Amino acid sequence: MLVHICCSVDSHFFLEKLKNDFPEEKLTGFFYDPNIHPYSEYRLRYLDVERSCKKLDIDLLEGEYDFEAWMDAVRGLEKEPEKGKRCEVCFDKRFDVSAHKALELGEKKMTTTLLVSPLKSQEQLKRVGDEFYKKNGVEFIAVDYRSGGGTQDQSRVTKEEQLYRQDYCGCIYGLTMQRESQDKLMDEMFSPISNTVLPASIEERLSLYGYRMQLEDKGREYRIQKHKFLNYRQFTCKLTLGKSTPVAAYALSYSTLSRKRAEGRIEAEIDGIFYFNREEIRFITLEKFNFLTCKSFGSVKELIYNPLSYEEEAELRFKITKSIYDLTPIIVLEKIPDEKLTLTLDAKIYEDTKEKIIEI
């Protein structure tokens, strides 16, 4: 039996139940989910599914990540709600590809782990599956593992196996509507030009879950623990000299400006720290930056594309402000101008959670 797989939270419990209920069937997992966006999230979910299948001794195949074809398929349905017409088209596409994969492998039966997801309609899935059975001759096995306490059992398995628990369906449209309804920043879509790994980003989780697999391969025990912290995302940092002359500038992480824009002049300098006459903004030269961090950046542009880690910037901020709670804008320039400046800084600080691996 070919089993279309969407994520480990659904698949691990689902595959365990299938193995028990269909002992005569050789199960083959098929991860085909071009709806998942961004691609780093797709890789993260695949990594965790790969781990689950390995633990359950189930072969796993990976389908093509044809995201653009998926976008074309759901065009015009961007505003559809969860379980609406966009989801049905999404099921259609994934069923179609999965059914043809089953035919290619000589399988006569197929099913999907979407059946166990509380966010999906089992009736909708069964209807689409039955239609494909009529067209392709691949029987759709519509098992119900949600009822009779199944959802609670699934939560238990997820916790026991320390599976990656994503908090959105996968597609960009569902994510957008979900974050809008929650009034939360859609930070999953942040991708710095520097390729910096941001706190609580998908890339950080991808690294963490990859490390988890290394620990398991070595037989070392661990625990994945969540904790709360104040996260930071910077949208814009722009500095102009006079009326319109741009100046290369770099704002340290956790630099915030309440009105997002400030105009003024540098009015004082103490120990290489230059103070603005408004908004408590501080400036340092790149030379001072290099001295305090023991780095050797040749230009601010180089720093923008190759910044320090968040931990290193936190150390630098403490050296300058003597406080770990400071949110003062600290701007790095190649030289300090003696003219009127306009700083535009749009950034957001918000409560968030992140995961840590604790080795036991």
> Cβ(70)–Cβ(35) under 8 Å?
yes
Which tokens belong to 173?
A: 């449209």
What's residue 78's pLDDT? 95
Contacts 24+ apart (CB under 8 A), 209-215: 209/44, 209/47, 209/48, 209/164, 210/47, 211/357, 212/162, 212/357, 213/47, 213/51, 215/357, 215/359
Positive or negative: CA dihedral 234, 48, 167, 224: negative
144-163 per-residue burial string, b: 16 or more CB within 10 A, e: under 16 = ebbeeebeeebeebbeebbb
What's residue 256's pLDDT? 96
Hey, where are the domains in the chain? 2-182, 230-352
For residue 59, count CB atoms less than 10 angstroms from its CB and return exposed for 0-12, middle for 13-18, buried for 19 or more: exposed
Give 3-state DSSP helix, strand, coil % of the chain, rounded to 5. 40, 25, 35
What is the third-level CATH fold of 2-182?
A: Rossmann fold (3.40.50)
Of all helices (H) and strands (E), which one includes residue 351?
strand 341-359
What's residue 134's pLDDT? 86
Short-list 84, 141, 89, 136, CA closest to 115: 141
Q: What are 244-260's pLDDT values in tens digits?
A: 899 999 999 999 999 99
> Cβ(21)–Cβ(145) under 8 Å?
no
Q: Which residues of the chain fall below pLDDT 70?
A: none
